[in-house]
Structure 1
Amino acid sequence: MTSSQTVGVVVIGRNEGERLVRSLDSVVDGLRPVVYVDSGSTDGSCEAARDRGVTVVNLDLSLPFTAARARNAGFERLREQSPQVEYVQFIDGDCEVAAGWLEAAAIALDQHPTVVAVCGWRRERYPDRSPYNRICDVEWRMGHVGETTHFGGDVMLRASAFAAVGGYNSGVIAAEDDELSVRLRQANGSILRIDHDSTLHDANIHRLSQWWQRAKRCGYAYAQVSSLHGAPPERKFVKEIRRTWLWGVLVPLGAIALTPFTAGLSLLVLGRYPLTALRTILGTRKRGFSWGESIPWGVSCGASVFPEAFGVVKFTGDRLLHRQHEIIEYKGAQTPIADTIQITGR
């Protein structure tokens, strides 16, 4: 059987506009089963998917949206209509699959029976349009080739292994891939990163407020996933949570509170933040990244502990008050697909 018959694709999205069009066009070949899961789009996304022969699943609007919930729904529909599928490629609607990735990932799974997930390198489509996009482009390349502990949202999974662990945890609002990775490894599966570009991502971050929201979401994800898998021996994100509480909350508040009693000397501890940024910049530069990549990445790492602290505090409050976990969005909607077609004349 060809890879088009053994590999199925699940795309998820909400108001991704032209990004979704690029995403679908990168995986639709007329043979490969593709399912698109929509979370309440109003920009013509569902129509664009149907026009390409893609099966569309509309999530129930009365329940909270999460990427995990959408992926599970897509996988269920994929297995219903194409039970022969052995591997499933998940992809977000703001990504497009790189040429040759589906074949390379399927071959890796064919050759390694114990491997249950294969990831590659995600790259940014427009890294030079903003320093925030450049930060994402560096972040995607911080892993290593070979066996790894986790993957991102653009991963190819062995369908049987995914089903055996019950799929994604639909209540996790972010870092759902890290959470799933833990359970797959606990079920004796291994995760492999191969040296191949997997997807081209469009972060589309141009404002400081977007960067802040994204980092806040990261802090929330640390706290939520740690609450599930923070116990030994996994201790998932425990170190990140401790760092966030210490440097994002206790140290800055303590330094300010002690100012009257130390003649301002307590504020010297705040020098740790620019030093962390500088150390990260130099370390990233040594790894072969340019100064234009290393500087925004280092500054982001030095400052992100503050929005992450807001995310950790928000999760803690939601948990104590038994509030529903809801996604933290940092992107705005794209231009409606119908308008894009009129503008470009397609």
Structure 2
Amino acid sequence: MHKAANNTRVDAVVIGRNEGERLTACIRSLQGQVRRIVYVDSGSTDGSAESAAALGAEVIALDMSIPFTAARARNAGLKALANQPPDFIQFIDGDCLLRDGWIERATGFLDENLRAAVVCGRRRERFPEASVYNTLCDAEWDTPVGETRACGGDALMRYNPVAAIGGFREDLIAGEEPELCLRLRGQGWTIWRIDAEMTWHDAAILRFSQWWRRVERAGYAFAEGVTRFDSRRERFRVIEYRRILAWGFWLPLITLVLALALHPAALVLLLAYPAQVARLTPQMGFRGAFFNTLGKFPEAQGACRFHLRRWRGKEPRLIEYK
């Protein structure tokens, strides 16, 4: 595969834990495309750190005595670049491969759009046929092209504005990228997705339980985002959060109460779920519509978990699905 010449304006920050061969492939995909590769390891036991070092990456071992978040790992990489700061940082997860040509497209876009702080492209699943859950992830990554409100874990960012706002919020167990973009937009910067291939991703979600935990984590992030960062100036994830509660919490709760207190005929309200699947099918296909509707239950579970932990004053813990 052809590699572009080394780009001295771009450094890469890779984060991961026990990614094995996926991490090796990730680092190799970056070689020749960026000036410097920093890999932040979060307690791997499979030799990932040693493999990354052997490939020329600068390895940082995250202090695992402090609760782990991806935001902490990304910030550790960001700080490691401060001695020779680049113009741009390519953040990428260790289970992804960078696509050839992406760096040139992304840096060219930022050079032409001086108020843009973040640019992302199309992330695709490497093995969408491996499971229905991988297929759902591939569809999830296909967001609209143009100016947007947030990016995901893979994105090219301007170093200076990201460093100036202190990077990512390290206490967020999920949803740290939208919150970062919220603060950048508050400073007058813009976020974009362009029509370009950016990364291959390997979700490796092969079991229903993995899918459930991943969606539960998303619900946790929505609840935390609304509770902590919503304001009159910017309605942060409010619509998504209300939809989660309506379908995943209030409708089943109200149905149960009415069925027990008044008459079992109230269970007819549950027909709203197949009706919702039917409504979404023309847009998403049956499989996408079914899991979108079913996903409101783990999302509601994640939202309830956030509020319970907050009420009890407990520290958040990462909800892992791999």
Give the TM bin, normalised by the shorter chain. over 0.9
Summarize deviations over 1:223-246 as a string: whole Å, max 9, x none: 111122212121211122222222
Q: Which amino acid aligns with 1:58?
A: A
Mapped contact 1:118–1:193 kept (Cα < 8 A): yes
Whether 2:22 is the aligned partner of 1:19: answer: yes
Whether 2:90 is the aligned partner of 1:89: answer: yes
> In structure 1, what is the Cα distance between the partners aligned to 2:319 and 2:33?
35
Summarize deviations over 1:3-22 as a string: whole Å, max 9, x none: 61100000000011111111
Partner residue, 1:341: none
> In structure 1, what is the Cα distance between the partners aligned to 2:78 and 2:287?
37
> In structure 2, what is the Cα distance between the partners aligned to 1:189 and 1:3?
27
Partner residue, 1:108: 109
Quote the sequence identity (%). 44
Mapped contact 1:216–1:308 kept (Cα < 8 A): yes
Partner residue, 1:250: 250
SS of 1:188 mapped into structure 2: coil
| Structure 1 residue 327: Cα displacement | 0.8
Whether 2:289 is the aligned partner of 1:298: answer: yes
Whether 2:122 is the aligned partner of 1:121: answer: yes
> In structure 2, what is the Cα distance between the partners aligned to 1:277 and 1:136?
18
C-alpha RMSD over aligned residues: 1.4
Partner residue, 1:210: 210
Give the structure, 1 or 2, with the largest relative contact order (CA under 8 Å, sep 6 or more): 1
| Structure 1 residue 199: Cα displacement | 0.6
Number of residue pairs aligned between Structure 1 and Structure 2 = 318
Whether 2:141 is the aligned partner of 1:140: answer: yes
Q: Describe the shift of the 1:30–1:55 C-alpha distance in structure 2 as closer, same or farther (beyond 3 A).
A: farther
Q: Which amino acid aligns with 2:22?
A: R
Alignment match of 1:312 (pick from 303, 314, 318)? 303
Partner residue, 2:185: 185
Alignment match of 2:46 (pick from 34, 43, 46)? 43
Partner residue, 1:328: 319
> In structure 1, what is the Cα distance between the partners aligned to 2:176 and 2:34?
29
SS of 1:9 mapped into structure 2: strand
| Structure 1 residue 31: Cα displacement | 6.3
Q: Which amino acid aligns with 1:172?
A: L
Mapped contact 1:96–1:201 kept (Cα < 8 A): yes
Mapped contact 2:20–2:46 kept (Cα < 8 A): yes
Partner residue, 1:334: none
Q: With structure 2 as the length reference, what TM-score do the two structures score? A: 0.95
Mapped contact 1:172–1:225 kept (Cα < 8 A): no
Partner residue, 1:273: 273
Summarize deviations over 1:68-88 as a string: whole Å, max 9, x none: 1100000110222x33x1000
Q: Which amino acid aligns with 2:269?
A: V
Partner residue, 2:64: 61
Which stretch shows the higher mean deviation, 248-257 or 108-117? 248-257
Partner residue, 1:6: 9
Mapped contact 2:33–2:103 kept (Cα < 8 A): no
Partner residue, 2:77: 74
> In structure 2, what is the Cα distance between the partners aligned to 1:99 and 1:276?
40
> In structure 2, what is the Cα distance between the partners aligned to 1:131 and 1:283?
17
SS of 1:88 mapped into structure 2: strand
Mapped contact 1:244–1:309 kept (Cα < 8 A): yes
> In structure 2, what is the Cα distance between the partners aligned to 1:184 and 1:192?
12
> In structure 1, what is the Cα distance between the partners aligned to 2:168 and 2:286?
35
| Structure 1 residue 263: Cα displacement | 3.6
SS of 2:236 mapped into structure 1: coil
| Structure 1 residue 278: Cα displacement | 2.2
